Each structure stands twice: as structure tokens, then as C-alpha cells.
Structure 1
Amino acid sequence: MRYLPIDPSLFVQNRQRLTALLKPNSLVVLNANDIMPTNADGTMTFRQNNDLFYLTGVDQEETQFVLFPDHPDPKFREVLFLRETSEQIEIWEGHKLTKAEAEQVTGLPQRQIYWTHQFEQVFGQMVFEAEQVYLNTNEHTRATIDVQTRDARFVDEFRQRYPLHRLERLAPLMHHLRAIKQPLEIPLIQTAIDITDRMFRRLLTFVKPGVWEYEIEAEMMHEFLRHRSRGTAYSPIIASGANSCVLHYVDNSQQCQAGDVLLLDLGAEYANYNADMTRTLPVNGRFTARQRAVYDAVLRVMKEAKQMLRPGNLWDDYHREVGKIMESELIGLGLLDRHEVAKQNPDAPLYKKYFMHGTSHFLGLDVHDVGNKYRRMEPGMVFTVEPGIYIREEKLGIRLENNVLLTDSGNIDLMANIPLEAEEIEGMMSEK
């Protein structure tokens, strides 16, 4: 892996925390993600199943993990299955984890590490002792799943082989655990943010009229890759002019023109953890009066929303209050009429014309990380704060986004060191 070794105590503690949530005499099975095909004999870059990684730290394909805390035999209480390597694999694909290396990564003793081809033999000595079996599925509320995953295939296979076992859903437990970041996770997220910071400072001296959006993307990737990141946390949005009003614009194919703004939604990945940052720049280095007015309005909403992220708050209540702040700013910009707002349908607020997405989402191993919006906010949660105003008729879109950690003593802006104020942006862009 490109990233530095992670303290295995993180994964040991994560397994202990999951164990505490299980019903007595329960067995848990997790599977690695597939390597997905492209065309012919091509494949996509492998990305590990985040729940498996969270519990083991193993970042390798064809991995399985079985947790059975109440098994009578201690060696079957935590069992890892790895793809066995060979000289042929070493020649064609490179190094795979040995059992000794897996012990260092996971904190599991080698006697509890097997090869994947031994799964059925070992699993047969475990499964019949369990009263219920927790299997994993993707239950993210925004997920669109058209391709069957390895976890989903395992559910089908398990039902055929063991039809009398009682199945339980693992996802709610993992969502509950992963929503609260552990002390060892925060530095990993911070490293992804620090790499993003270096990238953004590089772009501030690179952006100018005439540069192409894809050239900016190239500068971004250069900075990410040279700091142990595998690349972007998500498809980067590099959107100039009218493109800044397209929420998920990823073509990055237009030339930046003087007088336009450039919306950058970019974040680095590090050790499977993610940063999620948005900044908006004046292509020529100075905002027009109108651009500055909209920028400052978004920044004020961002600052107020950030203060509202605190333990005890509820997701929907928070977003409603942010909407009221945005309404006031849009009225001040002449985009909404105060009297019309007073008469609006509360279920279809008028501000949605110019600010149509949410302000915050969970952040962690997934960019839109797992969590339950009906759960009150708690210390250890990490959220984005990303208000925006999009005026399509003016070809002007401005969004700003930072990542915030909730604590008992207030929230911590993990991106506080990344330039944000308009004067600071303009000043750094003038240093070309």
C-alpha cells in the first residue's frame, strides 16, 4: 500500500466494539469487494469493502472475515481468510499478504489466519454452532445497486446451503459504529485533508484565464499522488462559468475564461479515508462585485451552519435552520422576495431554486459516509458543511465546503488552515 502502516489496535478495538452489539451466539461474515471488469480483459482499480477494512485493515481482494465471539473454540472466534499467493501470482500481479504480514496489519494471531480455499472447511466447523448469522448488504440510503456484489452473492449462497439458519442485518450495526470516528481514525482523515490543502495551494498559483479544466485536474492529481494518496476521494468537479451551476459536473473539459468563477469540489483519499473540500475562485484572480456578494453570502451561511453542528442536534432540524439562513441571504441578494417567502409552501421552500442540495453529510471511509440521520449528533461524528448558491441565469455558482469534527467542547474545523476568505484567495492568486 502507498499509505503508511496503520496501528492495528484500531482494528482490534473496532472488532471489540462490534462484538458488544451482537446478540449472544452470533456469527458475522464479511467479504472483500470484487475487482470489477471494464472491457476485454481490463479491470477497474480495486477498492476494498469499507466494512471489511474497518474490522481488519486488510486492503486486498478475495478476503473474507468471520467473527464468532461465543464460539467454544477460541481459535474460531475471529478468523481471516486470505488469497494464497504463488510464484505465478507474484510474477503477474505482485506481492500478496503473507500470514505474518496479515498478523501485523490486523492484530490477529497467525493461527486464526487461513487461505481462502480453506473457507468451506473451516466455516463448517463454525456455522452450526451459531444461533444467528449477520450478513452484510449495502443499505446506504443513496445507493443505486445494479451490479451484484460479493456480499450479495454470499447471501444467496448462504441461504441455499444453510436454509434453516436465522439471518440478521449487519449494516445497521456498522452504520452505528462507523458514524463515531475513533481517535486513531481522525489523523487518517486529517492526512487526506492535509494533502488536499497542499493541492489547493498549488492550484491557487496555477489557475488563470485560458487554462483548461482538465489541466487543473492534472495539477490536482500530481499533488495527490506525490503524497501517498491513491488519488481522488470521488470524481473531481472542476467547473468554470456555467458549469459551476451543474452540481455533479465531472467532464472537466472546458477552457476557463476571464470574468468567470471556477468551482472546485476536490478531495484526496488516504488509507481509504477521505477529504471533501469545495472552493470557488475567480478565474482572473479577482471577484466581480456580484461574485463577491454571492461568495460572502455563501460564506456567512457556511460559518453559521458550522456553529449549528453540535451534539444533540437532529439532522432534519439542522437542515431546516440552515434553510432559513439561506432564505435571508437570497433575499438580500435580490433573488427571493420577502413577501413571497412568507407565503411559501413550507414543504417546498423557495430557496431550493438556488440551493437545492443538503448542507452536510457524514464523512469517513465513504465520502457520503454511513450513518443514521434520525440519530442525534454525537461527539466523534465528522460532517461536511457545504452551502452553495447557483444562479443559472447569471452562469454563477458558488459553493464552499469544509469538514468538521464534533467534540464535547465544540466542533473542530479540520480544514481551518485551507484558504477560504475571499481576500486570502485573491491575495494568493496574485502571487503567480
Structure 2
Amino acid sequence: MSFNATPFAERRARLIASMQQAGGGVAIIPTAPEVMRNRDADYPYRHDSYFYYLSGFTEPEAVLVLIAGRESRSILFCRDKNLEREIWDGYRFGPQAAQQQFAFDAAHPIDELDKSMPALLADAPAVYYALGHDDKRDAQLQRWMQGVRALSRSGVAAPGSVVDVSVLVDEMRLFKDAFEIDLMKRAGVISAEAHCRAMRLSRPGLREYHLEAELLHEFRRNGSQYPAYGSIVATGANSCVLHYRAADAELKDGDLVLIDAGCELDGYAADITRTFPANGRFTGPQRELYDIVLAAQAAAVAETAPGKRFMDGHDAAVRVLAQGMLDTGLLDKRKVGSLEDVIEKGDYRQFYMHRTGHWLGMDVHDVGDYRDPPAADGSKPWRTLQPGMVLTVEPGIYVRPGEGVPEKYWNIGIRIEDDAHVTPTGCELLTTGVPSKADDIEALMRQA
């Protein structure tokens, strides 16, 4: 499939327009460095999300420079062609091919960056750069600025301010266009198929890493480049550990398995959680709590629509979960009081301690402000949902053994998570390819 440079060029143009509106300047966006894993072996390389969002370029050792002035330009600095290194490391675009393929106005070898930047920064009103993320890059910028200041006697001025470019790009990234939504839908389909595969193949006696391997198999078989994050495959008591990683615990008859996993496709993440019985059949107590979590998710999805606040879905889920905790005896009504008391005092947090969602996009916990700009009274209300936003909806219940906790619920951890795209009329779930109703899960698992 041929590369489409148009969305990336349009994003660069939008960022340049924002910079011009603020008075102009020079934006510097480097990609991520390669990281050594151990002797003579790197971690698998993954580009920086900000850099990729604006460039589409995936090679390491690259910097994007955007000029917002009388004449606006986009310039890529990248590795030069080197046929000998290509024998060892693979194909390199080189500046000439990169300029053509990715629609930059100019491209130069990365070795020329230090020499070129003082001239590009000269007389720029501001430099747009994310300070504090990389000490080496920060020091490099300081050298470039010193180089410009050294020319002050010749009438050249250094940028008068440093503006955090990520603030501008974060707001752009929060709203997904049709190109991005299409990629996220495809990532959701692949991830859903992986979850279905794990459910079908689950049985007592397997280990958590066996199911992790099935997830990875389905991700790569369908063209995903990486997992979007470290897959959580947790059985039994491990399902009550929120950030558990797939390890070697054995799936036992009568236990639940919680899988939180999603693939990354062409830079975009999916994020799905499902909980299912290792043997294919929910027990009575498991089914009780599962149906409560499923109802909480439905309540949160109903509150995910334009004009709603980011936290409206969370608040709706909490009401359902808290009522379920009272109904099942997880919370003793005689001690905690009414539903309103439980919510006001936060007693539900014993069994539900995280928020119901987060932004999703190029990063699994994607960028974007969770609050609107300050109101007239100085308050900062939760963000108003608008079309184009994508967020997860993921309520849960996690029951650890404890005094006063009914023993039949001990070590039951349940989370159900889907990815919601806010549309003009409501929201569209991107991850419905894997069942979430208990009956449907059992039916799928019988197919094995």
C-alpha cells in the first residue's frame, strides 16, 4: 500500500498557521532516540508520536523543523544514504527521497543540523520546542541559541521566547480526522480478533504467557507492528492487580482471566479489556459481579456524546457499580449508608479505584487536556466532549480478600473496556468485534 503524505502535510500546515497567528517562529520536533537493550542490541525502535504525527517518517535520527514566517517551510533532517549501513540495518530514505515521499519543502542530512539551526533561528520571534523531555536535545538547543546571540553585533536577534510546541499539537491530536479514525477502527478489529482467539483457546492448565503469545500472534498476523502497550493477562487473584503484566501463573478451573491488550497499527493504538472464565463457564458470584460491570459500562457509554462532560460517563458508571456493591453485600448498608452516602464518601473505591476512561490515539494514554479553559469564576470544568474525540470506557470491580467482604467474591477482578469515538449524534464503539455479554462469551468459548 502506497504512503499517503497528504494528512501529515496538512497537519504541518495547521501547526504553522497556529504559530503565525501567535507571531511566527521556528518549531523543532525531534523523533525518539534509539535505546540500547543490552550489549550490541537495541530495543525495537518506535518513533516519537509528536514527530510522526507531523511527518509520517519512522526512521531514527531525524528532526523536523517548521518555519512560520513570511515564507513558511517544512524541513526534515534525517540520516544520509549509506549503502554500507543499509547492508546491516536496512533501507534508508536519505534526504532526497524523504523530501519527495513525505512532501517536505526541503530535507538535509542530520549531520548538518548543528550548522544549519543557528541560521534558521536567526531573527525568529520564538522557538517552539518541548523543553525538559531530553537533556541532550535541550543542551543542543542552548548551543544553537548561543550561536545566534554571538551574531548580535551584526544585527541578528535570537528568539525572544521558548513556547511548548506540544501544547499546540496536543489540541490537534485530541481531535481525530477520518484518516485516523479509519486506522483506529482497523486496530480495533485486529485487537478484537486477538481477544476472541485467546478466549477460544483458553483452558485450565495453560499459563498466562500462553494467552499472551496468542494475542501477539494475532496482532502480527494481521499486520500490526507492535502491541500498543504491555499486555495484561491476569488469572485468579492477579486480576485484582490493575497494572499486572502477563507472567507464568496457571489458569485454574473456576478462575477468571482478565486480558487488557491492544495492538498498534501504523502508529495508532487500540485498548480492549475483557474478563472471562478460564473454563468457559461463569460461576454464580462471578456472573453477579460481571453483569454489574457490564451495566456500568452501558451507563457510561450512554453518557459519551457531544455536549457531555468527560467525567459524566465515570459518574454514571460509579452509580451503577456502587449500587451493585450494596446489593451484593460487598458494601454493608448498615455501615456505609445509602447510595448517595457511598458516592459522597467514596466507599466504592475499595473495589473500584480508577477512572472510567482516558483519551486514546497515537499513545494508549493519549495527549489532550481533560479540562476546559477556566470559567469566569476561575473554575476548570471537565472537558466537554466533541465529535472526533476518542476515549476508552472501562469500569471494573476488583475484590481482594478482607474482613467483612463476602468470601464468595474473593479474588474476582473484572474490567470491561471498549474504545469510543465521539460522533455528532453520540458515540461509536470501535471494538465490538469481541463479545462483552456473559452469554456471548460462553458461546464463543464453546466454539473451541
The TM-score, its normalising length taken from structure 1, stands at: 0.91
Distance 1:225 1:103 in 2: 30
Q: Does the aligned pair in 2 maintain the 1:30–1:151 contact within 8 Å?
A: no
RMSD: 2.1
Q: Give the alignment partner of residue 385 of structure 2, picking from 355, 377, 390.
A: 377
Q: Give the alignment partner of residue 85 of structure 1, picking from 81, 85, 88.
A: 81
Q: Give the alignment partner of residue 107 of structure 1, picking from 103, 118, 137.
A: 103
SS across alignment from 1:371: coil
Q: Give the alignment partner of residue 17 of structure 1, picking from 4, 14, 21.
A: 14
Q: Does the aligned pair in 1 maintain the 2:271–2:417 contact within 8 Å?
A: yes
Structure 2 unmatched runs, 5+: 150-157, 373-383, 402-409
- How many residues end up aligned between the 2 structures? 416
Deviation at 1:16, TM superposition (A): 1.9
What are the residue-to-residue correspondences of 1:74-223 with 2, within 5 Å?
77-99=73-95, 101-103=97-99, 105-109=101-105, 112-137=106-131, 148=134, 151-158=137-144, 160-162=146-148, 164-165=158-159, 166-223=161-218
What are the residue-to-residue correspondences of 1:236-385 with 2, within 5 Å?
236-338=231-333, 340-342=336-338, 344=341, 348-375=345-372, 376-385=384-393
SS across alignment from 1:372: coil
AA partner of residue 66 (structure 1): V
What are the residue-to-residue correspondences of 1:10-89 with 2, within 5 Å?
10-22=7-19, 23-72=22-71, 77-89=73-85
Deviation at 1:174, TM superposition (A): 1.2
SS across alignment from 2:91: coil
Q: Does the aligned pair in 1 maintain the 2:239–2:414 contact within 8 Å?
A: yes
Distance 2:431 2:229 in 1: 18
Q: Give the alignment partner of residue 400 of structure 1, picking from 416, 429, 433.
A: 416
Would the alpha carbon gap of residues 158 and 333 (structure 1) be closer, same or farther in structure 2, given more than 3 Å must change?
A: farther
Residue-by-residue CA offset, 1:335-388 (whole Å, 9 max, x unaligned): 123451548586750111101111000000000000100032211000000000
Residue-by-residue CA offset, 1:109-143 (whole Å, 9 max, x unaligned): 4xx111111223333332113101100247xxxxx
Distance 1:297 1:101 in 2: 56
Deviation at 1:87, TM superposition (A): 2.1
- What fraction of aligned residue pairs are identical, expressed as a percent? 32
Q: Does the aligned pair in 2 maintain the 1:306–1:385 contact within 8 Å?
A: yes
Deviation at 1:317, TM superposition (A): 4.7
AA partner of residue 307 (structure 1): A
Q: Does the aligned pair in 1 maintain the 2:192–2:432 contact within 8 Å?
A: no
Would the alpha carbon gap of residues 312 and 89 (structure 1) be closer, same or farther in structure 2, given more than 3 Å must change?
A: same
Distance 2:41 2:445 in 1: 41
Residue-by-residue CA offset, 1:72-110 (whole Å, 9 max, x unaligned): 4x5xx111111112122111111111345424542224x
Distance 2:55 2:35 in 1: 22
Deviation at 1:287, TM superposition (A): 0.1
AA partner of residue 85 (structure 1): K
Deviation at 1:167, TM superposition (A): 0.8
Would the alpha carbon gap of residues 160 and 344 (structure 1) be closer, same or farther in structure 2, given more than 3 Å must change?
A: farther
Distance 2:446 2:313 in 1: 38
Distance 2:350 2:433 in 1: 32
Distance 1:200 1:137 in 2: 39
Q: Give the alignment partner of residue 394 of structure 2, picking from 382, 386, 404.
A: 386
1:142 is matched with none
Deviation at 1:38, TM superposition (A): 2.0
Structure 1 unmatched runs, 5+: 139-144
The TM-score, its normalising length taken from structure 2, stands at: 0.88
SS across alignment from 1:292: helix
2:376 is matched with none
Deviates more, 1:306-315 or 1:231-240: 306-315
